[in-house]
Amino acid sequence: MNILESILAAQDGGAVKQMGQQLGLGDAQATSVLSALVPALAGGFQRNMQSPGGLDALMGALTGGQHAQYIDDPGRLSEAAGDGNGILGHVFGSKDVSREVATRAAAQTGLDPGILKQALPLVAALMMGAMARQGSGAALGSGASMPGGAMPGGGLMSMLTPMLDSNRDGSIVDDVMGMLGKRGR
């Protein structure tokens, strides 16, 4: 299951409903917001993971944070703005990038850019929650890998593979080894 599907399915759509209520949007509009922002954030996560120490930092945040609470109890999403802004700071590095992402998503969805700016930290928190939830169900590196480096039964690796597979060859092994090689320099 990819990150977007995981968020949409969380608590039978409860996360989508909660986010929509907070932003004054219906379920369809909230789903549209998620569909526009998740890929942009995934790209930011990918760039961040490829920087020196980025993958370690993400894994540390996933195992050490309380991010799964936003997926497990969507009502907690009302408390997610601060956490989400911190995530955005790590992923994008500047508020200007966040504003640009919100502006592009607004053009894609037809919604007000202000709503997308408010949604960004919530979506970032939900993404970390989805990855943390998947990581707790299937530890990174556990189980046998399948052809192409995918992990059986979904799990965190099935979510991270699209972000880590920078050359889109279906295997993350060469990409992760390349990241590790960059660290040693």
Q: Report which of 160, 157, 129 is spatially closest to residue 15, judged by C-alpha positions.
A: 129
> Which tokens go with 54?
């980025």
What length is written for the chain? Answer: 185
Average pLDDT over residues 17-36: 95
Average pLDDT over residues 80-103: 91
Instruction: Provide the pLDDT for residue 145.
Output: 33
> Which tokens go with 10?
């969380």
Average pLDDT over residues 13-17: 94
Instruction: Provide the pLDDT for residue 169.
Output: 63
Tell whether the model's pLDDT for residue 66 goes beyond 50: yes
Q: How confident is the model at residue 133 (pLDDT cuts 50, 70, 90)?
A: confident
DSSP notation for 12-47 = GGHHHHHHHHHHT--HHHHHHHHHHHHHHHHHHHHH
Q: Which residues contact 3 (CB under 8 A, 6 or more apart)?
A: 38, 42, 127, 130, 131, 159
Question: Cβ distance 18 to 74 under 8 Å?
Answer: yes
Instruction: Provide the pLDDT for residue 28.
Output: 95
The rounded mean pLDDT for the chain is 78
Q: Report the greatest alpha carbon distance in the chain.
A: 50
Summarised one tens digit per residue, pLDDT across range 35-54 is 999 988 988 888 888 788 88
Instruction: Provide the pLDDT for residue 176.
Output: 45
Instruction: Provide the pLDDT for residue 59.
Output: 83
Instruction: Provide the pLDDT for residue 15.
Output: 93
Summarised one tens digit per residue, pLDDT across range 138-184 is 433 333 333 333 333 455 555 565 555 555 565 544 544 444 444 44
Average pLDDT over residues 89-108: 91
Instruction: Provide the pLDDT for residue 48.
Output: 81
DSSP notation for 40-99 = HHHHHHHHHHTSTTHHHHHHHHHHHS-TTHHHH-GGGGGG-HHHHHHHHHHHHSSHHHHH
